[in-house]
Amino acid sequence: MTGAFENHGRKSLPGKGRFLFASALLIACAFFFVSAAPGEKFKSRYVKTREGRRACVEGSIFLRVPYPKKGGLGHVAEKYMGDRKKSNLLLNYNPSPKKKRLSEVRILLKDLLPVYQVEVVSALFPDDRRVAAGWQHKAGDETMAQLAKWFCGSTKKTESLRAALKRKVLRKGDVVVIPEKLLVEPFKGMKPEVEAPPPQAKQEPPSQPAGQPSAGPVKPPFPPPSEMSMDDARKLLEYGKDDAGEYALYHLAKGEALYSSVVIRFTGRLEAAEVNQLAMEIAKRSGITDVTAIPAGYAVKIPMDLLLPQFYPSESPTYTEWAAHQKDLDGIINTYKNAALEGVVVILDPGHGGIDRGAIKNKVWEDSYVYDIACRIREGLEAKTKAKVFMTLMEPTKGFKPIDKPGLTPNRKATILTHPPFQPDSSDETKSGVNLRWVLSNSHFNTLKNSGVDPQRIVFTSIHADSLHPSVRGTMFYIPGSKYRSNSWGYSGGLAATIKECKKAGSFSMTDKELERAEGLSKQFAKRLEESFRKNELKLHPYTPTRDHVVRSKKRAWVPAVLKYNIVPCSILIEVCNLNNGEDASLMKDPLFRQKVANAYIEALILYYS
């Protein structure tokens, strides 16, 4: 235990003083264990929540958060406690950063902002809820003394709690209600859930009227969206039909919102205006008058024609066709393996540039930041692997060198690297520039293929950042869905007549089998990207991070042009984050985050070829 009792420049205690100090320490320890009752020891417990945070029981209940790279404890206090001035409270439970290098900061449950209190409680006690009589708790391995400390504020309340619960010990699985008069904050201040009324008559779930809580007790909260698979989400749906048509029935869990937990999850919509519009449409169908005050357990009706195909009933033609296609795709694999990426060629396409800034939200413009990520990927691949990299675009004033600054200037002189190079300076030319990107990619592919390079060794990646509903966070990957592509296409006339790659190519074509293979290989790479991003603790879109098309309105769906018209078998478009979300936008400005994204991409590519 070297250093456990350092002097830090103070004089050491004399012999008698050391004896008295040790005696006092022993008495204090004895008092602690007596107060906890014989045989009742406190067990530490840790549950990962999100973004590197951990809900934990270490005697008291805390949230452990990563120590920030900038801002220190003041930043932690402002973000998680709501006030920088509260940073002094953190010193009660954490070493001083000046004396010890911190990797995490502990924040006491009662000091957290409400949103983080809910995060901690939901993680540690997923089956608990606030009821009118107090706090309903499902026991695990904890003791009565621990229960008193957590929910009543002190082990001194153990005997009062035992009397109120009319039991001396807790057994695993016991469900108890801690009386409201014994509760401390934040448990006491949480609003009781609306209890479901008793059923009037026995009825099957699908015929249950929308807008009414389900019969029986309200369902417990489900895992956070980021932890729930598509198969688990399917299990939450029931199906029925009324005068307005077929629908899926979903019971809102505690803390869930109609926008994110229903519209974004089950319909796939992401664009802010459309998400809001569909939320109102579903609310009206479900008899909801106030979307901000929907009780837990409320039954929401989602019109069947709004659902993504994977959420249709398992016996429906829509679902069976979708499932069969996914099975076919999973059988398509890349057979070229070389972990050093020898012989692999990567075509990188940073989105936008020139007069086209791309998405501009929260004082971040898309083009500069995705270009910097592409440059970091290029640099990493060329330094750490044997892969060869082609770029579709260059900003001549910056070159391909990454910039380690939080604020980046617009890529005003961004140039597409065709022959001759093309620098769009009008909106019409910007639209043409989108086509030149896939034409250039296809030209590289044909040249490589004609020189004997195996098509499996070529990967196309377009890098972007999105502007979606502000509740959405994380990275998404788009792959070329074969259902949304044509067998032949071309680009000619106008600008194309002046570009060597356009004149040389003429038109392009792919068979149905080639389109399906391209989708399968792209899906395989997307799965490796998901794995790598999770491993590197980069946030993914919580519901369907990989998609084969962009979902918009009931009748409009498409594949981005750089994928739709690309003949590279493995093609993917990465939406790094949602700039319309403040946290995502702040991350994008951080060069460390941009490097982390680049590193995760390289790791995924190595996984794909390993």
Name the DSSP letter for residue 55. Answer: E
Residue 138 contacts residue 128 (beta carbons within 8 Å): yes
Res. 213: pLDDT tops 60: no
What digits encode the pLDDT tens for the residues 234-286?
Answer: 888 999 999 999 999 999 888 888 888 899 999 988 888 888 888 889 999 99
Whole-Å CA distances, 96 to 7, 74, 105, 403: 16, 13, 10, 33
Pairing between strand 507-509 and 488-490?
Answer: antiparallel
The encoded tokens of residue 224 equal: 């956070």
Residue 54 pLDDT more than 80? Answer: yes
Residue 13 is given by DSSP the state P
Q: Which pLDDT band holds residue 42 (cuts at 50, 70, 90)?
A: low
Measure the CA–CA gap between 549 and 476, rounded to whole angstroms: 11
Using CB atoms within 10 Å of the CB of residue 40, give its burial: 0 to 12 exposed, 13 to 18 middle, 19+ buried.
Answer: middle
Q: Rounded mean pLDDT of 317-325?
A: 96
Q: What is the DSSP letter of 337?
A: -
Nearest to 482 by CA among 511, 453, 445, 504: 511
pLDDT in tens, 376-413: 999 999 999 999 999 999 999 999 999 998 889 888 89
- 550 φ/ψ angles, rounded to the nearest 5 degrees: -90, 130
Closest CA to 274 of 578, 560, 555, 553: 553
CA distance 430 to 93: 55
Q: Write the secondary structure of 481-526 as one string of H (helix), E (strand) and C (coil).
A: CHHHCCCEEECCCHHHHHCHHHHHHCEEECCHHHHHHHHHHHHHHH
- Residue 223 pLDDT class (50, 70, 90 cuts): very low
pLDDT of residue 2 exceeding 80, the answer is: no
The Cα 214–Cα 298 span in angstroms is: 7
For residue 7, give every residue at least 6 positions away whose Cβ sits within 8 Å of its Cβ, in sequence order, or none. none
Pick from 8-12, 135-139, 421-425: least confident: 8-12
Q: What is the pLDDT of residue 494?
A: 84
Task: Pick the closest to residue 159 from 174, 173, 169 (CA basis).
Answer: 169
For residue 8, is pLDDT > 70? no
**331-536+551-608 is classed in which CATH architecture?**
3-Layer(aba) Sandwich (3.40)
Q: Is the pLDDT of residue 95 over 70?
A: yes
- Whether the per-residue pLDDT at 577 is higher than 90: the answer is yes
Q: Is pLDDT above 50 for 196?
A: no
* Average confidence (pLDDT) over 537-554: 87
Q: What is the pTM of this model?
A: 0.64
CA 215 to chain centre: 33
CA separation for the pair 603, 318 (Å, rounded): 36
Write down the mean pLDDT value for the chain: 83
Cα(579)–Cα(359) distance, integer angstroms = 7
- Confidence band for 70, pLDDT divided at 50, 70 and 90: confident
Mean pLDDT of 158-168: 90
Classify each residue of 121-132 as buried b or exposed e, where b means 16 or more C-beta atoms within 10 Å of its C-beta: bbbbbbebbbee
Instruction: Name the pLDDT band for 225 (thresholds 50, 70, 90).
Output: very low
At 84, the pLDDT band (50, 70, 90 cuts) reads confident
**Per-residue pLDDT tens for 463-487?**
999 998 888 899 999 999 999 999 9
pLDDT recorded at residue 120: 86
List the chain domain ranges: 28-124, 126-192, 208-329, 331-536+551-608
Name residues whose C-beta falls within 8 Å of residue 384's C-beta, 6 or more positions apart in sequence.
602
What pLDDT, on the 0 to 100 scale, is given for residue 215? 32
What is the pLDDT at residue 105? 92
State the pLDDT at residue 302.
95
| Share of residues in the chain with pLDDT > 90 (%) | 48
- Binning pLDDT at 50, 70 and 90, where does residue 226 land? very low
Residue 115 confidence (pLDDT) above 70: no
Per the model's pLDDT, the better-predicted residue between 37 and 530 turns out to be: 530
Sign of CA dihedral 213, 217, 219, 220: positive
